[in-house]
Amino acid sequence: MRILITGGAGFIGSALVRHLLVGTDHEVLNLDKLTYAGNLESLASVENHPHYQFVQADIGDRETVGRALREFQPDAIMHLAAESHVDRSIDGPGEFIQTNIVGTYQLLEATRTYWSSLPDERKQAFRFHHISTDEVYGDLHGADDLFTETTPYAPSSPYSASKAASDHLVRAWQRTYGLPVLLTNCSNNYGPFHFPEKLIPLVILNALDGKPLPVYGDGLQVRDWLFVEDHARALIKVVSEGQVGETYNIGGHNEQKNIDVVRAICALLEELAPGKPAGLGRYEDLITFVKDRPGHDQRYAIDAGKIERELGWVPQETFASGLRKTVQWYLDNLEWCRHVQDGSYQRERLGASA
Ligand SMILES: NC(=O)c1ccc[n+]([C@@H]2O[C@H](COP(=O)([O-])OP(=O)(O)OC[C@H]3O[C@@H](n4cnc5c(N)ncnc54)[C@H](O)[C@@H]3O)[C@@H](O)[C@H]2O)c1
């Protein structure tokens, strides 16, 4: 297939691009605006791959997206581009509305124009795969409750509300115009190349610097964690074998309290990075409880039974194995982290495109 990926320079998108290029024969066009979250250094290992192309563009720019579609002639679009950080959505929701809702609308319209022009056979085979989050379902209160594909939407944050809106638009474009869509809603991802503002990389890097490890509220919020490479494998399954119009929940069967995640990272660092900053006893001593995030969801947990039954996907990593790989990756790639932290990953890009 020829696959256009939006947001391929982000955390999950770059894992997907690397997987597609290394593990399959698909051709990839990565269309990414390169916001603060887009980092081409995450794609350094594949940037010269003969099946890879990159275009810097905003999904909200219908003309440029339309031109990319006509020139690249994709068989599928995998739409990951989004503003994705909940705390940023609370501080400034505007960009989330613009990219996640208006941008998705513009992308759907550009896609509809392109798809309508395809010959019948290619039209039927075409797929628009929208990548979304389990946060659209709101939070769970019963200890054994799980999100299924039919759980009603009840988003809590500007981020999850904007993703919920984009899911509705995608479904409407199928119902109204017949666009062959697929949707996936996934739990929290973690793994290599994760932007250091997110919990797991933040804790690893702060601990190595001897800085406080901030934990919201009592730290008892529960999240289901999925190793990013497992997510990439699931997305490739869905775009190749999923039933048009269906939604698949993707999860790691790995429910963890935030505080336990932070403690597990500290324990791994004791083993893998014993040389601590001067004066520090144990990494755990850095844990600091901070004021809870407004509207903070208490528990997310996914029933990933449908994708397992229908497409045969199960995660390959446990939380213990995935977290160990992640901590080791950060220890081995401190330069990537430093470039993100000091902003040089963006300066190099601006220099290159100037
Ligand atoms: N991170 C998670 O745990 C998680 C879980 C489930 C679903 N998701 C969803 O998966 C997708 C990818 O998440 P992520 O964590 O990789 O996000 P990310 O923030 O790391 O990356 C987003 C990418 O999209 C690009 N982008 C942003 N606005 C754009 C625009 N207007 N036009 C073109 N490109 C733009 C950015 O430059 C960046 O490369 C998102 O849609 C997110 O909602 C994420």
Rounded to the nearest angstrom, the distance between the alpha carbon of 119 and the centre of ligand 1 is 31
Protein residue closest via CA to atom 9 of ligand 1: 132
Q: Is 345 a catalytic residue?
A: no
32 catalytically annotated: no
| DSSP conformational letter for 340 | H
Tell me the sheet residues that pair with 213.
Answer: 287
Dist. CA 34 → ligand 1 center (Å):
10
| C-beta of 33 in contact with ligand 1 (< 6 A) | yes
What tens digit of pLDDT does each residue of 39-67 get?
999 999 999 999 999 999 999 999 999 99
Distance CA 120, CA 35 (A): 37
pLDDT tens digits for 56-115? 999 999 999 999 999 999 999 999 999 999 989 999 999 999 999 999 999 999 999 999
Instruction: State the distance from the centre of ligand 1 to the C-alpha of 82, rounded, in angstroms.
Output: 4
Of the residues 134, 224, 230, 297, which is catalytic? 134
The catalytic residue among 135, 139, 229, 255 is 135
| Token code pair at residue 6 | 């939006």
Distance 84 CA to ligand 1 centre (A): 5
Q: Is the CB of 7 under 6 A from ligand 1?
A: yes
Number of H helices, E strands in the chain: 14, 12
Q: Residues 159, 190, 283, 345: which is the catalytic one?
A: 159
Summarised one tens digit per residue, pLDDT across range 270-328 is 999 999 998 999 999 999 999 988 888 888 899 999 999 999 999 999 999 999 999 99
**How much is the pTM?**
0.95
Q: Are 196 and 337 in contact (CB under 8 A)?
A: yes
Q: Which of 84, 224, 247, 350 to mutate to test the pocket of ligand 1 (most atoms within 8 A of CB)?
A: 84
Q: Which of these, 252, 163, 261, 152, lies nearest to 214 by C-alpha position?
A: 261
Q: Which of 28, 32, 34, 33 is nearest to 16 (CA)?
A: 28
CATH code for 2-190+226-253+298-318? Answer: 3.40.50.720
Reported as a pLDDT band with limits 50, 70 and 90, residue 349 is low
- 79: β partners: 6, 130
Pocket of ligand 1 contains residue 35 by CB under 6 Å: yes
Amino acid identity, position 276: K
Domain residue spans of the chain: 2-190+226-253+298-318
310 is annotated as an active-site residue: no
CA distances from 344 to 41, 75, 351 (A): 11, 35, 10
